[in-house]
Chain A
Amino acid sequence: MDSNESGEEPAYQIKVDNLYKVFGRNPRRALAAEHVHKSRDEIQSELNLVMALRNVSFEVRSGETFVVMGLSGSGKSTLVRCLIRLIEKTSGNIFIDSDDVTEFSANDLREFRRSKIAMVFQQYGLLPHRNVLDNAAYGLEVKGMEKEERYTIARRVLELVGLTGWENSKVRQLSGGMQQRVGLARALAVEAEILLMDEPFSGLDPLIRRQMRKELASLQKELKKTIVFITHDLDEAITVGDRIAIMRDGEIIQLGTPREIIMNPVDDFVREFTEDITPSRVIEVGSIASPPPLTSRISETPDHVLKSMINAGVDYSICLDEEDRFLGMLRRNDLDRSQDIGNAKISDMFSIPSVHLVQSTTVEDAIPIISEVDTDIPVTNDDNRLLGVLTKSAVIQALGRPALAL
């Protein structure tokens, strides 16, 4: 099983093309051209077939967390099982690192499952007749790894998920959250690049859910896996996902970043989902920043800056270096009150504390800072170059009527 034969990095790690899954006798009947515009219900009553997935196509980048979201029966669980061939497709292709998974022989499929991809299940799927350590090591055991080696790795991943000390406990002695962590440990132990998670936190109570999400986020920072995450909870989807695919009746009806979905729901169905989400959670300060009223260079004198402020009729200026990188903020009041303005260095006059926001910060996350400072706040990009300033009125607009804010 060779990947990357051309020597080129594939743009996407997972690529699904026109995937169909139909349940029932002679399932391919449902793919005939005459049925293309029929609804799922019509196909069921006419052909006695269930169209679980209909022309599903999407791509997932390496290192991305891709969320598939939908209600029960939308096809999301079927989809994730098709990726690992626990369910066999009716038609379509699934490319993982340029290999078509649906064409794999039994041996190739086994190898694929043992090293490239790992899954975490909603109902945990742990072996009740074994203890925690053996469960975490199961994926390695199946590969034929020696006991000592796999126990060492298993202990390490159990530590990673915070279950040190529980190695010899039986699975049933653990709470739901802990059992799911064993499931997660088991998936991490095989060091697969791709992680499939089928509603992993749906069976847990809300506080534990939030905690698990945070832990997953911090693990993901370290491990940078490609994750396909299934959930029915939009809140969870936008917290966890880089991009979200919303499914209904077996089809993807909208695919986009959390922000795109909340700002531009494609129809009433999606809108109903997004209604409860406050936009401030997805609006980034970078998108609502306005041009700074005045900027100055580090090479200028304080005197000169003050004069520019008076001329422009503004209260502050933002000091930048030659490459437009943010250095500090200069307040007119501070310059006015200074005794020795002729001889002072401009850098001594920066207001303290010097706050600025990175463009990707969500409005929600920025609120604590906004409430501490009474002026506009500079917004920089990832290189610390100035993009603009965040005004309070922009924030209030974003909180209230997001469409206008943009």
Chain B
Amino acid sequence: MVHTKSEVSDDEDSPGSRLRIPSIISKISDDEDSPESRLRIPSIIAGIVAASILLSYLVHGIGDGLEFALDFPLNVGPEIERSLDDAIKWFVVTFGWFFDAVSHYVKLVLGKLRDFLIWIPWPIVMGLVFITAWRVATIRIAIMSLIGMVILASVNLWEPTMVTVAIMMVSVFISIVIGIPVGISAARNEKVNTAIRPVLDAMQTMPSFVYLVPGIMLFGLGNVAAILAIVLYSVPPCIRLTNLGIRQVDPSVVEAGKSFGSSQMQLLFKIQIPMAIPTIMAGVNQTVMMALAMATIAAMVGAGGLGIEVLRAMGQLNEGEAIIAGFGIVILAIIIDRISQGYIGTSNN
């Protein structure tokens, strides 16, 4: 029996994609489970491997005339790089006005927020965080957060922490404003979903440094570049989990909603989004944590806050200071994580 796999999709008359097992293997599986056929595939593979190794030796041995097999003959890398450089320069120059405007406003908002957070006396901030943690999570977490904040303040890291928090607040806000709607549209529209998946996959496998590049290109060094990097880094989980959350809503409830004549918007806002909130919140939580992780790296492009403390200390070979600043980041991370997990917990009940 020759097996071919085809994708069967409900109710679609459009041509789907077909995966065909290579015919050679399907011919092999003609006698399905006989002992001979079970030996066949591994032995054929062994044969192929052995032949490949022999051929490789041969090529190296012959040498002259076969250099092309050892060094790929085509190299258009430099040309492509040059064209990319030119394209980017052109882009930045042409749309410079736009990016300058964005940069201006983001700096404005960030600056005001940062100054505001620093302006509030530390006892009030600590008190607010304590109360929030208590209401939203448990008293234990509230106390723990308080201790953490005291530690941060007592090693002279209060202001840098506030700066980092300000940067994060702006970044996370932007991430959520972009991520949740995109996630919703990916959940409802299969085309968007297929388009977006490889993009998200790529974004999540790229090393974090790479995110700094677009920021610097468009905004130069500074906080705005950092914010762009953070947004790019932290938006994928928000999109992913919003998408997942909406898709995983109990289909029988959605079906019931449809049967009573709900419009698409009514389904979305009365049924799907409310029921997807736990998963969406988990996405937001991840976004926050990734934003924090990126915030420290963003110090390399000139962002303020705890990250720059670590960098500066490392640059000056002040290991002690670097460690303290590093711990400061950890403490901040733990406080934020516990409180937001607590929020997810209470919103589920």
Contacts and interface: CB of A to CB of B under 8 A. Distances in A.
Given A48-B8, A126-B253, A190 B260 contact: yes
A113 B252 contact: no
A171 to B, nearest CB: 10
A166 interface: no
B11 A88 contact: yes
B75 interface: no
A142 B266 contact: yes
B261 A112 contact: yes
A88 B13 CA distance: 13
Nearest to B9: A25
Contacts of A126: 253, 256
A139 B274 CA distance: 17
Interface residues of A, number: 35
A238 interface: no
Interface in A20-74: 23-28, 48
Contact of A121 (B6, B13, B256, B274): B256
Contacts of A129: 274-275
Contacts of B253: 125-128
Of the candidates A25, A118, A139, A141, the one having the most CB atoms from chain B within 10 angstroms of its own CB is: A25
Interface string B9-20: 111110110000
Interface string A87-114: 0100000000000000000000111111
B271 A127 contact: yes
A84 B261 CA distance: 10
A253 to B, nearest CB: 26
A86 B259 contact: yes
A86 B7 CA distance: 23
B261 A24 contact: no
Contacts of B16: 25
Nearest to A123: B252
Nearest to B18: A25
Given A25-B9, A86-B255, A138 B260 contact: yes
B260 A121 contact: no
Contact of A84 (B9, B13, B259, B271): B259
A119 interface: yes
A113 B6 CA distance: 36
A136 B212 CA distance: 53
A119 B11 contact: no
Given A27-B13, A121-B252, A86 B8 contact: no
Contacts of A124: 252, 256
A143 interface: yes
Contacts of B252: 121, 123-125
Contacts of B258: 86, 113
Nearest to A130: B274
Interface of B: 6-13, 15-16, 252-253, 255-263, 266, 270-271, 274-275
Interface of A: 23-28, 48, 84, 86, 88, 109-115, 118-119, 121, 123-129, 138-139, 141-143, 183, 186, 190
The 9 closest A-B pairs by CB, nearest first: A125-B256, A114-B261, A113-B261, A139-B260, A119-B259, A110-B261, A123-B252, A129-B274, A142-B262
7 contacts: A25-B7, A25-B16, A48-B6, A86-B255, A121-B252, A121-B259, A139-B260
